[in-house]
Amino acid sequence: MPKMPKPNTPHPSTATTLNISGGQRSSLLRRDFLSSYPEDDDDSNSTTAHSHPPSHYVQSWVNSFRRDPGRRITPATVVHGVGSSKRSSTIAGGSSRGGGNSGGGSSREEKERHIGGHYFDLHAANVNTANTQLSRELKGRHLQMIALGGTVGTGLFVVSGSTLTAGGPASMLLAYAFISGMLYCTMQALGELAVAFPVAGSFSAYSTRFLDPALGFSMGWNYALQWLVSLPLEIIAGSMTVNYWREDIHRSVFVTVFLVAIVVINLVGVRGYGEAEFCFSILKVIAVIGFILLGCVINIGGFPDEGYIGGRYWKDPGAFNNGFKGFCTIFVTAAFAFTGIELVGLAAAEAVNPRKSLPTAIKQIFWRITLFYLISLALVGLLVPYNHPDLLGAESFADASSSPFVIAIESAGIAILPGIMNAVILVAVVSVGNSAVFGSSRTLAALADQGQAPKIFGYVDRRGRPLISILIVSAFGLLGYLADLDQPSEVLNWLLAATGLSSIFTWASICLAHIRFRKAWAVQGHSLDELSYLSQAGVTGSWIGLFLNILVLIAQFWTAAWPIPPTLPDPDAVDEFSTAPEGARRVVPTVPTGNGSGVTINNQGDVVHNVFLQCSCVPIIVLFWAGYKIWFRTKVVRLEDIDLDTGRRRAGVVYWNSHSAGGGGARARGLPVFSLLTKQELEWERERELRGMPRWKRVYRYLC
């Protein structure tokens, strides 16, 4: 019997909740699962597959880009059916009770005429994101590495140099620890929401469902634009990194190579994307661990002509630089370095079993990234002084020659390792560019499912790929050819201006959505025992995360309006530290900014320019929110009207068991059969598993 392929249909447990008995539910699950498999006569087809002409395979490949009408399992009667009047009328401008009734014979056109031609159907949006056509093929290891791949990039390897310059090694460690604590609360909130509602769009869909559709619209487009701009940025960064080896080749050549590679990976499908990110992330993990070991050896053994280093640079030039303002400047830079950690929540809609794999991924990815950042940056602070001239002479945030990791290795006199480290940086920026296509395409497709973007963006082909969104995002990668301009750093600064604070707003919206979810959960009479996964930080952690995100925003406004003075390198320090030939680098006094770029400050006009660059994301978000709210006249969803049923995963889990009783013909055909366990049975099983473990392992399982 040939091995059967896994179904590409959305998981049945994500469908809209229906009032059916347990036996009926099991029957429906089994029937939906089996309907996704070919019939028994596929065996005969498989034996004669070699006889198909080449045109057959070409036609099959072409058909894979077409939409499969059978992939969406939610009929129209569920979207606009009886009993949905309360939820669908919530957003009709005016009354939350009688503004529009989706049942009782009232059509969408009648609602639009009633409220002036503009209507947002919240219930339909919830159903569409819950029953996405995206393919569920990601496993736990993919989820962990997707977040790692989207986070560890230029923010750690290159931009950390600007944090070291701005605040010194002690401020750098404190700021990164501060952001880590903030993100612990945020990621725990995201984990609870994503396990309960593994829907398309994730946090932007949560803002629409639990807060206000206008806020969900602005958060969704804010997140999509963040990754849309990140794609050409990372491609430009990769082309600039190649200059470490070859400066005689036009950057546009490498821009083409990187863009084609990224597009091909994303067109392979979500499984191919997950495998690529898994390989990229493994390389980055090996590089970071290798640098940590090498850094310890260098610190103990010292540089060739200096001997033991220890904490020398914490005394001279010092542990802090630019005082409290330097510390606040690092806040935003550290947040920029953690951008992408939330991708694990966005990928939940394409996970095979999010209830099982997502909690582990949420916990482990946080600890891995935090430990990698804190340990490696602690060593960077020991090996590279904050006034090193190569740090001060960076052309842009993508200038790999200003990476403190590369500087530390070069200072040790190791010939080949700087080239290897630059290769790792190259892999990192391509990996983040790959994640940019994934993050923005899935967000655009989810916005289209909710009616907040053109419908064409929601086109999903037979292989579960949001094809049109991927192509649109890839077209933005053509901006990478701006790398051939005479002043690429200015282009990078303006591109970064549109997304400088995007992650802060995204993380704040996650915390706020979790707070509202918990309130609605209690108001509607639910118990926390009904949830499969609870945030370890609880609602208190979400309040703390929201407060800390607001503090970071305030720090960004303050440091942008009153920047720290420009930093000039000490001329005498060039001979002491620099490994580059004299005169090889032109150093321009710049003010380090939140995203790692540098802005020249000579007069008050430059300060205004700096404020606009660092805070332009705010008016964009406000414009999107206000425009949508005025057009659709939306209101904050009332706690008793929040939809807690559509797309929610129950506490029980579906196990794949090919030997279950009652399988009938399915078991005879070698197909898996569903069996359901209640949450109490799952807890008993988990207790039996933990009972024989030593204490240290039980603590590890709780944290990771």
SS3 letters across 642-697: CCCCCCCCCCCEEEEECCCCCCCHHHHCCCCEEEEECHHHHHHHHHHHHHCCCHHH
Q: Which has the minimum average pLDDT: 39-48, 158-167, 199-208, 448-457? A: 39-48
Domain that holds residue 343: 140-574+587-632
Question: What distance in Å separates the CA atoms of residue 106 and residue 547, rounded to the nearest whole number?
Answer: 43
- Residue 389: cis peptide before it, omega within 30 degrees of 0: no
DSSP track, 440-451: HHHHHHHHHHTT
Task: Point out which residues pair with 598 in neighbouring strands.
Answer: 592
Taking the CA of residue 332 as centre, how many other CA atoms within 13 Å lie in the half-sphere pointing to its CB? 30
* CA angle at 566 for the pair 563 and 569, rounded to the nearest 5°: 150
Question: What distance in Å separates the CA atoms of residue 362 and residue 532, rounded to the nearest whole number?
Answer: 14
Q: Which residues contact 429 (CB under 8 A, 6 or more apart)?
A: 153, 154, 234, 235, 237, 238, 241, 398
Question: What distance in Å separates the CA atoms of residue 343 and residue 142, rounded to the nearest whole number?
Answer: 11
Would you say residue 9 lies in a domain? no
Question: What distance in Å separates the CA atoms of residue 387 and residue 390, rounded to the nearest whole number?
Answer: 9
**Of 34, 44, 4, 46, whose CA–CA distance to 666 is shortest?**
34
- Torsion angle of the four alpha carbons 373, 376, 380, 382, in this order, in degrees rounded to the nearest 10: 120
Angle between helices 502-523 and 538-561 (to 10 degrees): 150
**Of 80, 193, 75, 93, whose CA–CA distance to 632 is shortest?**
93
Asked if 214 and 629 touch (Cβ cutoff 8 Å), the reply is: yes
* CA angle at 98 for the pair 93 and 100, rounded to the nearest 5°: 60
For residue 271 the two structure tokens come to 């499984």
**Of 642, 636, 634, 635, whose CA–CA distance to 518 is shortest?**
642
pLDDT at 548: 94
pLDDT at 600: 59
Asked if 12 and 32 touch (Cβ cutoff 8 Å), the reply is: yes
Of 20-34, 416-430, 451-465, where does the model show the most confidence? 451-465
Q: Between 435 and 661, where is the model more confident?
A: 435
pLDDT at 690: 67
User: pLDDT band at residue 639, thresholds of 50, 70 and 90?
Assistant: very high
Angle between helices 251-268 and 467-476 (to 10 degrees): 170
Would you say residue 181 lies in a domain? yes
Average predicted confidence (pLDDT) for the chain: 75
Within 10 angstroms of residue 86's Cβ, the number of other Cβ atoms is: 17
pLDDT at 399: 61
Would you say residue 569 lies in a domain? yes
Asked if 692 and 702 touch (Cβ cutoff 8 Å), the reply is: no
For residue 90 the two structure tokens come to 């919530």
Checking phi first, is residue 288 left (phi over 0); if not, alpha (psi -120 to 50) or beta? alpha
Would you say residue 56 lies in a domain? no
Would you say residue 673 lies in a domain? no
For residue 576 the two structure tokens come to 């002491």
> Which H helix or E strand runs over 251?
helix 251-268
Q: Which has the minimum average pLDDT: 5-19, 502-516, 550-564, 608-622? A: 5-19
pLDDT at 549: 94
Instruction: Please give the share of the chain, as a percent, with pLDDT higher than 90.
Output: 26
* CA angle at 97 for the pair 96 and 100, rounded to the nearest 5°: 85
Say yes or no to pLDDT of 188 above 90.
yes
pLDDT at 7: 45
Would you say residue 373 lies in a domain? yes
Condensed to tens digits (0 to 9), the pLDDT of residues 4-52 reads: 444 444 444 443 334 444 444 444 433 343 333 333 333 434 444 456 6
**Alpha helices of 562-603 — where are they, by DSSP H?**
573-577
| Residue linked to tokens 């909690």 | 359
Condensed to tens digits (0 to 9), the pLDDT of residues 46-73 reads: 444 456 676 666 666 666 667 665 554 3
Average pLDDT, stretch 217-244?
Answer: 88
pLDDT at 684: 65
Q: Between 198 and 92, where is the model more confident?
A: 198
Question: In CATH, what number is assigned to the domain containing residue 406?
Answer: 1.20.1740.10
pLDDT at 157: 83
**Of 167, 221, 190, whose CA–CA distance to 333 is shortest?**
167
Strand 653-657 with 673-677, pairing = antiparallel
Condensed to tens digits (0 to 9), the pLDDT of residues 87-145 reads: 443 444 443 333 333 333 344 444 444 444 577 888 888 888 888 788 888 887 888 78
Taking the CA of residue 78 as centre, how many other CA atoms within 13 Å lie in the half-sphere pointing to its CB? 18
pLDDT at 247: 79
pLDDT at 670: 37
Domain count, the chain: 1
Question: What distance in Å separates the CA atoms of residue 200 and residue 186, rounded to the nearest whole number?
Answer: 19
For residue 304 the two structure tokens come to 């060739």
Would you say residue 651 lies in a domain? no
Question: What distance in Å separates the CA atoms of residue 605 and residue 621, rounded to the nearest whole number?
Answer: 25
**Of 245, 120, 143, 118, whose CA–CA distance to 198 is shortest?**
143
| Residue linked to tokens 């359901």 | 676
Cα radius of gyration rounded to whole Å, the chain: 27
pTM of the model: 0.79
Question: What distance in Å separates the CA atoms of residue 335 and residue 511, rounded to the nearest whole number?
Answer: 16
Q: Which residues contact 273 (CB under 8 A, 6 or more apart)?
A: 265, 266, 434, 438
Would you say residue 696 lies in a domain? no
DSSP track, 161-192: HHHHHHHHHHHHHHHHHHHHHHHHHHHHHHHH
Q: Which has the minimum average pLDDT: 195-209, 215-229, 568-582? A: 568-582
Say yes or no to pLDDT of 586 above 50.
no
User: pLDDT band at residue 681, thresholds of 50, 70 and 90?
Assistant: low
Which amino acid type is present at position 106?
S
Angle between helices 213-242 and 488-497 (to 10 degrees): 160
Asked if 14 and 199 touch (Cβ cutoff 8 Å), the reply is: yes
Give me the count of residues in the chain.
Answer: 704
Show the beta-strand stretches assigned E in 560-634: 591-592, 598-599
3-state secondary structure of 508: helix
Average pLDDT, stretch 70-91?
Answer: 41
Condensed to tens digits (0 to 9), the pLDDT of residues 359-402 reads: 888 888 888 888 888 999 999 999 999 988 888 655 555 566 67
Of 256-270, 326-340, 364-378, 401-415, where does the model show the most confidence? 256-270
Say yes or no to pLDDT of 556 above 50.
yes
User: pLDDT band at residue 329, thresholds of 50, 70 and 90?
Assistant: confident
Question: What distance in Å separates the CA atoms of residue 391 and residue 395, rounded to the nearest whole number?
Answer: 10
pLDDT at 36: 37
pLDDT at 9: 44
Say yes or no to pLDDT of 427 above 80.
yes
Asked if 655 and 675 touch (Cβ cutoff 8 Å), the reply is: yes
